[in-house]
């Protein structure tokens, strides 16, 4: 599947299950002084989660243009040197505004990746927030994920928040094992390790609170769902690549940089070509927006 096929399959899947397909919002948020650039699919729905804004739908799905080049979610220094960091990327997401919650969000995600995308269950792992017994039980009893493939982590890994303020909540993440050959070899290597063995594919956030500037958490009017899956990462996995820059969308730009500069795409300027490919996407879409 090309990147475009993967995006379309995602939107079709959720469209067929009652979700409104909403266009990506601008990379420059219109009405949010807390945010310089759009950094997640949920940004355009922030006020819907808090109940300040009403829409005529309670389920949505998007492929959102995102830039993470500063602030809380910032990958800038890694770009070019790692296989999966970008300043610009697309986030595939489904959202429930007080409609379905944990059970259905987990069922949809598992169904899509194991059936429609055909990922082998025996390479998948999940993580949940340390006290979230409910999510662990859904993964185990409803989806049949073995207990030894369900890891529990604290706030740093399994509690998502947009920034210092705004909607937030515990989350559950799906990881794929890329094989011991991609790993650090450590006996304690597991999902969440910094090496390339376990790749996080999808983050499902159980939106339950709004954090104010004093850090106080207030429950949202209704429990909601915000998910995000990086298109470039899932494309690498489905295209059998270990590197996002080898997928169809990014490799074309790396090759264009190599051609324009007369330098081997995989030679000594490899990282530079990747920085060029990444930053071209960020700057082109930022200028367009």
Instruction: Find the radius of gyration of the CA atoms of the chain.
Output: 19
Binding mask 244-263 for ligand SER (x = CB under 6 A): --------------------
The alpha carbon dihedral of 38, 128, 239, 17 has a sign of: negative
Answer for which of 29, 93, 166, 170 binds ligand SER (CB under 6 A) is: 93
Q: Give, as ranges, the residues between 26 and 65 that touch ligand SER (CB under 6 A).
A: 40-42
Strand partners of residue 226: 95, 205
Measured from the CB of residue 216, what is the shortest distance to ligand SER in angstroms? 21
- Residue pointed to by tokens 């949809």: 108
Identified binder of ligand SER from the candidate list 227, 247, 249, 282, rule CB under 6 A: 227
Q: How far is CA 191 from CA 120, 123, 149, 205, in A?
A: 16, 11, 9, 17
- Distance between first and last Cα of the chain: 28
Our finding on whether 109 is near ligand SER (CB under 6 A) is: no
Q: Where are the beta strands (DSSP E) in 3-103?
A: 20-21, 59-67, 88-96
Least separation in angstroms between CB 270 and ligand SER: 28
Instruction: Using the minimum distance from each CB to ligand SER, give the nearer residue, 162 or 254.
Output: 162
Considering beta carbons, is residue 80 or 166 the nearer one to ligand SER?
A: 166
Tokens found for residue 138: 């859904």
3-state secondary structure of 82: coil
What is the smallest separation between the CB atom of 160 and ligand SER, expressed in angstroms?
5
Residues that bind ligand SER (CB under 6 A): 40-42, 93, 160, 203, 205, 226-228
């Amino acid at each position: 599947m090309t990147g475009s096929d993967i995006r379309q399959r995602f939107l079709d899947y959720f469209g067929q299950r009652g979700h409104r397909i909403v266009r990506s919002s601008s990379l420059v948020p219109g009405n949010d002084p807390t945010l310089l650039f759009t950094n997640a699919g949920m940004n355009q729905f922030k006020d819907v989660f808090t109940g300040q804004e009403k829409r005529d739908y309670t389920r949505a799905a998007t492929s959102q243009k995102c830039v993470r080049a500063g602030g809380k979610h910032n990958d800038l220094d890694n770009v070019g040197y790692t296989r999966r960091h970008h300043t610009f990327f697309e986030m595939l997401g489904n959202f429930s505004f007080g409609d379905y919650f944990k059970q259905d969000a987990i069922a949809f995600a598992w169904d899509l990746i194991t059936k429609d995308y055909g990922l082998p269950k025996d390479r998948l792992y999940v993580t949940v927030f340390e006290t979230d017994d409910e999510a662990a039980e859904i993964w185990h009893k409803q989806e049949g994920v073995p207990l030894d493939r369900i890891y529990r982590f604290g706030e740093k890994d399994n509690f998502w928040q947009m920034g210092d303020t705004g909607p937030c909540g515990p989350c559950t993440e799906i990881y794929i094992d890329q094989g011991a050959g991609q790993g650090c070899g450590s006996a304690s290597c597991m999902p969440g390790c910094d090496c390339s063995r376990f790749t996080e594919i999808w983050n499902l956030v159980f939106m339950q609170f709004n954090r104010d500037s004093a850090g106080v958490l207030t429950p949202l009017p209704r429990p909601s769902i915000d998910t995000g899956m990086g298109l470039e990462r899932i494309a690498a996995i489905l295209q059998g690549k270990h590197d996002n820059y080898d997928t169809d969308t990014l490799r074309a730009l790396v090759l264009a940089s190599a051609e324009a500069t007369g330098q081997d795409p995989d030679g000594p300027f490899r990282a530079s070509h990747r920085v060029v490919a990444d930053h071209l996407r960020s700057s082109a879409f930022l200028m367009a927006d």
